[in-house]
Amino acid sequence: MTEGLMISIYVFVLAAFVGVEVISKVPPLLHTPLMSGSNAISGITLVGSLIAAGEGHGGLSVILGFIAVVLATVNVVGGFLVTDRMLKMFRREPQNKNQRA
Amino acid sequence: MSVVAALSYLIASVLFMSGLKMLSSPKTARKGNISAAIGMLIAIVVTLTDQRILDYTFVLIGLLLGSAVGVWFALRVKMTAMPQLVGVLNGFGGGASALVAFAEYIRMSGDASLTVWSGEARLDVLITLVLSILIGTVTIVGSMIASAKLHGVMRSAPILYPLQKQTNAALLFTALVLGVLFVLDPSLWYVLIIIAGLAVILGVTSVIPIGGADMPVVISLMNSYSGLAGAMTGFVLSNNVLIISGTLVGTSGIILTNIMCKAMNRSLANVLFAGVGAEYDPSVQAVEQRTVIRYTPEDAATILESAQSVIIVPGYGLAVAQAQHVLQELVNVLTAKGMLVRYGIHPVAGRMPGHMNVLLAEANAPYDILMEMDQINDDFQTTDVALVIGANDVVNPAARSKKDSPLYGMPILNVDHARTVMVCKRSLNPGFAGEDNELFYNEKTMMVFGDAKETVTKLIQLMKS
């Protein structure tokens, strides 16, 4: 087993613990934004997609990479934006209902 | 990878973690999301300046196209359709991970036409490659099916077929055996294609038997899968930022899945395989012709007029009727009359975790009055009116007493402890679980039949006059 792999496994296990600690503290009130926001974070696979699409060999791997870039970008951009749209709506003070037509 | 790139990825990871941490309070949540987005931007910019990218044509076209679609999705979606959108986005993330794994395989093979395998690959890379393709493909297909069901493009009732469990187990087993075969001989590229094909079938067969109201579990599970697929791709590429973020999302999805299952007192296996919501047949269920007393909105308004405290229990019917704005308007009217008005929200109300909260926040409901089940359940006994709008199973007392009911053991909102219960509903039809609701026949229950939006609008008019 290589050293790199060992480090990756450490990272994996520790990240899982951080995940449990951090996520269990999110109240049900915010579960939908949590899902869409964490979902946007999982679009990090875009990093891999970019490299695959830009390798310049041409051929199949670039095409696959290109599709992956499109999908992952939709995931990232759509995910963060929609989460922001939702979180903007959560307010504490009772609002005067001025946004309804 | 250069030192600068490695450190930038570390900064991105830290921003993701602190961003998620800030989501634990509505006060800091928006900042948290923005901080995670900045982390993502850093990771993307660093990757774009990486020397490994030689040709920017496809990269830039892909980024522009994806951003345009993403912005369009995010700005156009209605809050009621949020579960579908999150499903689609999950699927895209999972699909991208699978594609990256495949592209990396082609690169490793050393020959783009795949005729000769001249590559060398470590065992762990091959194993995670198979897992990434398998999980990623199941995620994209399963999420699309779930979204189609939620959007009403597909029948949302469970579609059952013989030997469900066995079929899914056999598909998964075959895919894993083929995976081992591939790991032993990585030149067998077509085995990867077959695995992806099996994953497509598995995505379909595992999600179609799950009914509409169980979708919160499926969406959470797909969320988890999309993260796991990303983490596996991280192993393939030896990229720690992918492993960290993928794992964070994976655990987040699993935690939510677990919360949803607990809130229904069902195991994950039961949700995935039991096909609840399928067997409902009105002719069999009508045990005896019992009558309920129909009340008019005028009757309801009279009772509400003299109430001091009201708890509103919303359900998926609120989303269907798009009645969240009028409902909050009613709350404002009641609050202006000096009543204590709050919402009681069941964890599985709606079609995804937290669905009701988002709808009500959209309608300008301050989040201090959006109470969780555990916070508010003891308050029903001192409350004058419990107003149930578009909810059914989550207030069904059969969950407490009726041992043979599919709802038995599920924690419910104790609306029947309130002095008066008002139920605003279209018809007497049972909820998703197919269990007749005893609450409707209770002598302190007032059934007001009709469309939620119309009824609530009527109530507002009456209360104002």
Separation in Å, CA of A10 to nearest CA in chain B: 10
Q: What is the per-residue pLDDT for B427?
A: 77
Per DSSP (E only), the strands in B360-460 are: 370-372, 385-389, 420-425, 445-449
Per DSSP (E only), the strands in B326-389 are: 340-345, 370-372, 385-389
Q: What is the per-residue pLDDT for B273?
A: 77
Per DSSP (E only), the strands in B328-465 are: 340-345, 370-372, 385-389, 420-425, 445-449
Low-confidence ranges of chain B (pLDDT < 70): 1, 111-119, 275-290
CA neighbor of B452 nearest in space, from B338, B361, B359, B341: B359
| Domain, as residue range, for B157 | 81-273
- Give tens-digit pLDDT for A20-31: 999 999 999 999
Q: What percent of chain B has pLDDT over 70?
A: 94
Contact B58 A65 (CB under 8 A): yes
Of A29, A45, A89, the CB nearest to B96: A45
**B229 & B250 share domain:** yes
Which tokens in the block code for residue A54?
Answer: 């830009």
> Are the C-beta atoms of B322 and B80 separated by less than 8 Å?
yes
Q: Tell me the average pLDDT across A50-61.
A: 80
Side chain identity at B437, as an amino acid letter? N
Q: What percent of chain A has pLDDT over 70?
A: 87
Q: What is the per-residue pLDDT for A93?
A: 65
Which residues of chain A neighbour B51 with C-beta distances below 8 Å? none
Contact A16 B251 (CB under 8 A): yes
Q: What is the per-residue pLDDT for A98?
A: 46
Q: What is the per-residue pLDDT for B111?
A: 67
- The number of domains in chain B is 3
Q: What is the per-residue pLDDT for A99?
A: 44
Report the CATH number that the domain containing residue B418 is assigned in CATH.
3.40.50.1220
Residue that is last in its domain, among B244, B273, B302: B273
Which residues of chain B neighbour A83 with C-beta distances below 8 Å? 33
Is A18 touching B (CB cutoff 8 A)? yes
- Give tens-digit pLDDT for A56-85: 666 888 889 999 999 999 999 999 999 999
**B128 & B18 share domain:** no
Q: What is the per-residue pLDDT for B156?
A: 77
**B310 & B348 share domain:** yes
Residue of B nearest to A49 (CA): B100
Contact B95 A71 (CB under 8 A): yes
3-state secondary structure of B162: coil
- Give tens-digit pLDDT for B86-111: 999 999 999 999 999 999 898 888 76
DSSP string, B49-83: TSTT----HHHHHHHHHHHHHHHHHHHH--GGGHH
**B264 & B315 share domain:** no
Residue that is last in its domain, among B22, B54, B76: B76
Is A94 touching B (CB cutoff 8 A)? yes
**B147 & B266 share domain:** yes
Predicted ipTM > 0.95: no
**B93 & B206 share domain:** yes
**B366 & B393 share domain:** yes
Residue that is last in its domain, among B243, B273, B303: B273
**B380 & B239 share domain:** no
Contact B358 A88 (CB under 8 A): no
Contact A40 B252 (CB under 8 A): no
Alpha-carbon torsion (B101, B106, B107, B108), positive or negative: positive
SS3 content of chain B, % helix, strand, coil (to 5): 65, 5, 30
Which residues of chain B neighbour A43 with C-beta distances below 8 Å? 40, 89, 92-93, 96
Residue B394 is classified by DSSP as G
Please state, in angstroms and rounded to a whole number, the distance separating the CA atoms of residues B433 and B26.
33
> Are the C-beta atoms of B463 and B334 separated by less than 8 Å?
yes
Which residues of chain A neighbour B30 with C-beta distances below 8 Å? 84, 87-88
Which residues, 6 or more positions from B46, have their beta carbon under 8 angstroms from its beta carbon? Answer: B4, B5, B8, B9, B12
In chain A, where the domains are located: 27-89
Bridging pattern class, strands B370-372 and B385-389: unpaired
Contact B85 A51 (CB under 8 A): no
**B236 & B349 share domain:** no
What residues does B314 pair with on adjacent strands? B389
> Are the C-beta atoms of B247 and A16 separated by less than 8 Å?
yes
**Any idea which residue has 């994209």 for tokens?**
B140
**B434 & B450 share domain:** yes
DSSP string, A22-88: HHTTS-GGGHHHHHHHHHHHHGGGHHHHHHHHTS---SHHHHHHHHHHHHHHHHHHHHHHHHHHHHH
Q: What is the per-residue pLDDT for B284?
A: 45
**B433 & B385 share domain:** yes
Side-chain-facing half-sphere of B5: CA atoms under 13 Å? 14
Please state, in angstroms and rounded to a whole number, the distance separating the CA atoms of residues B229 and A48.
12
> Are the C-beta atoms of B250 and A66 separated by less than 8 Å?
no
**B253 & B353 share domain:** no
